[in-house]
Chain A
Amino acid sequence: MKKLFQHEIVDFFVKNSIENFVGVPDSTLKQFISYALKKKKVIITAREEEAIGIATGMALSGSNSLVFMQNAGFANSLSTITSLVQLYKIPLIFLIGWRGYLKEDAPEHNKIGKIQPDLLKIIQLQTKIISDKNWKEGCQWAINKIESNKSCALVIRREFYD
């Protein structure tokens, strides 16, 4: 996704009541995270589950949060999503960078990248993939979810090699 759009996503969420961006950095999302960091809205955590915990505490206090992570970290978070976010019905937006989307991505991402869409389906976390073209609709959909007290995920594909 282009740098400009990643910046616009931050602005869109800030304008639409998302007060906190908590997570573990990911290169697919780096423009998003760097821009949010400049706006002093970010907490970087050691692990993804920790980020979900902090965002949950903020949600309990009525403050809307987005949790960002790479899909490897999403796999780390499965137990936390099912036994905290879904069990207690905590409204959170997950923003996930999708490594392993391209077949020739680094080897450690291939298997988890391949099953990423199935993992989201199996745990019944409603998801939209966002791109340069449809990010605004996807982000608005996520805002609507959080306003109706539901959690959801937005996924950005890693469409480049480095």
Chain B
Amino acid sequence: MEGHLIEIRDLKTYYPIRGGVIGRAKNFVRAVDEVSLFLRRGECLGLVGESGCGKTTLGKTILQLEKATAGQILLDLSGKLQDITALRGKRLKRLREKLQIVFQDPSTSLNPRMLVKNIIGEALAIHHLARGRERITHVSGLLKAVGLNEDHLMRYPHEFSGGQRQRIAIARALATNPDFIILDEPTSALDVSVQAQILNLLIDLKNELNLTYLFITHHLLVVEHVSDRIAVMYLGKLVELSKTSDLFRRAFHPYTIALLSAIPIPDPDMQRERIILTGDVPDPIDPPTGCRFHPRCAFAETLCREVEPQLEDVGGGHLVACHRREAVAKKYGIEV
């Protein structure tokens, strides 16, 4: 499709559980199960879900850090979409220049024994982008772009605060001049005032450098603030995908509605109907039959237990995977 940077088609990532004498796979953890989505160039797609729903695995599979079990990941680099799941060796390395990631906790994602100039410069060295003095100027330029300065070049990660470390991690991701960055919970280890700084920085960088983000988080207020569209995942499946404003105004999937109602909002006057889900997320080794959400869903009926719902468009690119969405819409007064 025109303008799509990445298209994911029926992607599956399974982790085998091995057992027995010869270590054959007995069963699989279905971390990502038949997920299809696309990212337009220059947009920010928020990926929301609870821990263990497969959102990080999806991100890692896009970067080829995990091997996809089945499905395709198509990337548009030179005007036409190219399947990157089959790439190996040098061609995969070339690809990594364009795809980068910022991890959750900067205190563990930065090597404590490397200087900042080497942490950021390493990417330039690996991809033969710059050397010697040129590399240093490039690195200090990157530091300035993320709000640090040249004095920080010769320091170690432990000399920085959490927010500054995350800035270094962002600078490292920017070093190879990527098109696409996966932000895997970039602010969840930070305090609110620092979180605000980092979010502002990320928004600025996106606009300046025309980046495309996949913003993985469990924090709905943050994702609402930065992303253009939001995808909601539950137990390895996409359950809803829509424009940000649309999702917060009219969510159709009962899981999304429960998730939205559970956000603590810093305003004591805001009275809302709380929908409290019972129970925990089921085991992805042996997910429930039919709709994976049915054991916790108030609207579940026989159909939900037997047939798996597919994502269907309810208008304006708003995709929902729910058999009972008419009933849900009626209950919560959502206009269809």
Partners in one complex: no
Interface residues, chain B, CB within 8 Å of chain A? none
Interface residues, chain A, CB within 8 Å of chain B? none
